[in-house]
Amino acid sequence: MTATAIDYLIIGAGSMGLSTADWLARHSGARVQLLDAFSPPHDQGAHHGETRLLRQAYGEGSSYVPLARRALELWKQLERESGETLFLPTGVLNVGPPEAPFIGQVEASAREHGLALDSLTGDQAARRWPGWALDATMHGGFERDAGVLYVERILKCWRERVARSPNVSLATGAQVVRLEAGEQGGWEAVCADGRRFAAERVLLSSGQHLAPLMAGLGIELPLTRVRKTFAWYESDARYALGDFPGFSLTTPSGAIYYGFPDIDGAGFKIGRHDSGQPLPSGETMAAFGACEDDVVELQQVVDRYFPGVGALRYGAVCQYIRTPDEHFLIDELLPGLLVAGGFSGHGFKFASALGEALGIWLDQNRRLPELALFAMTRFSSSEGHLS
């Protein structure tokens, strides 16, 4: 089958793929082809689950802060242009033992970048938000300008905007099984149904399928797919939107959890950020409750820290694609072939800014300085550490 030729090919129309296509649709006259094995938004990638936290005082490293600031600007712009509510300014409380690295980095990020952050002892936080059971051994940093993104609503918005562009096409049910170097340069994507798509420049943002596709070109990526769980619970009025913030919680044992107030009547939502069960690409994830720890690891934290949270409503599973250091992997690994993956469960909040940066890289062959931190070379050297 003859390859369909376009200017830019994006494989994986999830968070990063759709965001990049949206930027290109508005800033470039190039022909863009998006491919997705399913039909976004869907539950086969890392973008489902309704909501994500948006923070700027960043516990994963202060080097992320400029990206977070730009992302917030672009989320608000998208909200204005779409007329949809996409961001809820709930505030986010980061809480844990004062010696926890995550808590220290949150405060360091705020100091370095002049971010507003209220510093609280645990008992002060509990008085301010009675839904918490905390004592003075814990420490909190409250970022009042942080909040919650509506993930699937954003994906739907991007898809609708892309569909209106005469220069962008989205092919769903297009499962790419192989990448090949083009005879005249560039790259060809071969789909399971025999369709072929060719372009001089390609963005591979296909989540769990990124590593297998690159392995076919002789490049091994340090990515691990991990099954994760999260759940919604009954809760009383203490957890109502406007009365309780989004949060990250580091326990004394070092486990890291995240959560949300009751939004739109869904209930109190909580998940665990660390741990999880590794599994191969393509393997079906076991449903919530299939693993012994699914309920226990959430329930023990609910019982300890959230006195007004009641019975489990329902749980769900998702996947992280992790790098060894849990920072992103964004690089041009072969001429004209960009990869964007390894977002390790904290990438979505940056998707608006990363779509802009990836669009610029594809269209102008120019890597923004902020992306240098996520280069593949850091795995073979001591350089590129994210502070």
Longest dimension (CA), the chain: 67
CA distance 29 to 19: 16
Predicted local confidence at residue 251, as pLDDT: 97
Q: Among 189, 144, 116, 155, which Cα is nearest to 348's?
A: 155
Q: Which two tokens stand for residue 294?
A: 């699914």
CB 244 within 8 A of CB 131: yes
Q: Of the residues 20, 47, 52, 228, which is catalytic? A: 52
The set of long-range contacts for 280-287, using a CB threshold of 8 Å and a minimum separation of 24, is 280/225, 281/208, 281/209, 281/211, 281/212, 281/225, 282/208, 282/209, 282/212, 285/227, 285/317, 285/319, 286/227, 286/317, 287/317
DSSP string of 209-237?
GHHHHHHTTT-----EEEEEEEEEEEE-G
Can 157 be counted among the known catalytic residues?
no
Q: Of the residues 47, 55, 159, 269, which is catalytic? A: 269
**Letter for the amino acid at 240?**
A
Q: Among 302, 312, 357, which Cα is nearest to 332's?
A: 357
CA distance 100 to 154: 33
Q: Which residues pair with 37 in a beta bridge?
A: none
Can 284 be counted among the known catalytic residues?
no
Q: Of the residues 161, 273, 346, 367, which is catalytic? A: 273
Backbone angle region of 83, left / alpha / beta, with phi > 0 → left and psi within -120 to 50 → alpha: left
DSSP string of 57-102?
S-TT-GGGHHHHHHHHHHHHHHHHHH-S--EE---EEEEE-TT-HH
Predicted local confidence at residue 387, as pLDDT: 44
Backbone angle region of 109, left / alpha / beta, with phi > 0 → left and psi within -120 to 50 → alpha: alpha
CA distance 347 to 149: 12
From the CA atom positions of the chain, what is the Rg in Å?
21
Predicted local confidence at residue 39, as pLDDT: 74
Can 273 be counted among the known catalytic residues?
yes
Q: Of the residues 55, 70, 90, 318, which is catalytic? A: 318
Can 228 be counted among the known catalytic residues?
no
Element (H or E) spanning 22, and its range? helix 15-27
Domain boundaries, the chain: 4-47+152-222+325-380, 92-144+224-322
Q: Superfamily assignment of 92-144+224-322 in CATH?
A: D-Amino Acid Oxidase, subunit A, domain 2 (3.30.9.10)
Residue-level pLDDT, tens digit, the chain, 387 residues:
666 668 999 999 999 999 999 999 999 999 999 999 887 765 666 655 679 999 998 889 889 999 999 999 999 999 999 999 999 999 999 999 999 999 999 999 999 999 999 999 999 999 999 999 999 999 999 999 999 999 999 999 999 999 999 999 999 989 999 999 998 889 999 999 999 999 999 999 999 999 999 999 999 999 999 999 999 999 999 999 999 999 999 999 999 999 999 999 999 999 999 999 999 988 999 999 999 899 999 999 999 999 999 999 999 999 999 999 999 999 999 999 999 999 998 999 999 999 999 999 999 999 999 999 999 999 985 444 444
CATH topology of domain 4-47+152-222+325-380: FAD/NAD(P)-binding domain (3.50.50)
Can 2 be counted among the known catalytic residues?
no
Q: Of the residues 47, 48, 195, 322, which is catalytic? A: 48
- CB-side neighbour CA atoms (13 Å) of 363: 19
Can 27 be counted among the known catalytic residues?
no
CB 208 within 8 A of CB 282: yes
CA distances for 237 relative to 75, 180, 242, 309, 371, angstroms: 29, 56, 10, 10, 42
Q: Of the residues 51, 90, 229, 251, which is catalytic? A: 51
**Beta-sheet pairing, 329-334 with 337-341:** antiparallel
Q: Which two tokens stand for residue 208?
A: 């769990």
CA distance 35 to 86: 25
Predicted local confidence at residue 197, as pLDDT: 95
Within a 10 A sphere around the Cβ of 81, how many other Cβ atoms? 11
- CB-side neighbour CA atoms (13 Å) of 80: 6
Would you give the DSSP letter of residue 199?
E
Predicted local confidence at residue 380, as pLDDT: 84
Within a 10 A sphere around the Cβ of 38, how many other Cβ atoms? 15
Can 269 be counted among the known catalytic residues?
yes
Angle, CA 105 vertex, CA 101 and CA 107 arms, to 5°: 125
Predicted local confidence at residue 382, as pLDDT: 44
